[in-house]
Amino acid sequence: MVTPSFHSYFRIGDLDIPGNRITIEANINRTQPYLPGGGNNTEGDVVSKHTDPTNVNYLLRPNHAYITTTNGFFGTPDICDIEVNKNYHIAMVYDGATLKFYRNGFL
């Protein structure tokens, strides 16, 4: 899928994922710079099911990931920023105990 412009998104409704393990991945190419704290998706939400910082079912961004489970809240540390107009493969993997973030296959 390709979004036509900055601040575009796809809505798929309330997707409930059963079980206690999940992998979410995406191929991305940002055309605008990442603006931490800017709001309105300028922080780079790629795949998410969350309403606010206190209710994060899962959230995948270009530089980190978050998930809330029955075991608690998990987040990965920020890594280096991405370059604009460059392709990346990003993924978050939760195995029931640990959350991992991958970019281009590297943990």
Distance (Å, whole) CA 36 – CA 56: 17
pTM: 0.82
Residues 58 and 46 sit within 8 Å (Cβ to Cβ):
no
Domain map (residue ranges) of the chain: 41-103
**Exposure on the CB side of residue 17, measured as CA atoms within 13 A:** 13
Mean pLDDT for all residues in the chain: 84
Residue 81 in this model has a pLDDT that exceeds 90: no
Burial of 4 (0-12, 13-18, 19+ CB in 10 A): exposed
**pLDDT digit string, tens, across residues 4-46:** 655 666 677 777 777 789 999 999 998 877 766 665 555 678 8
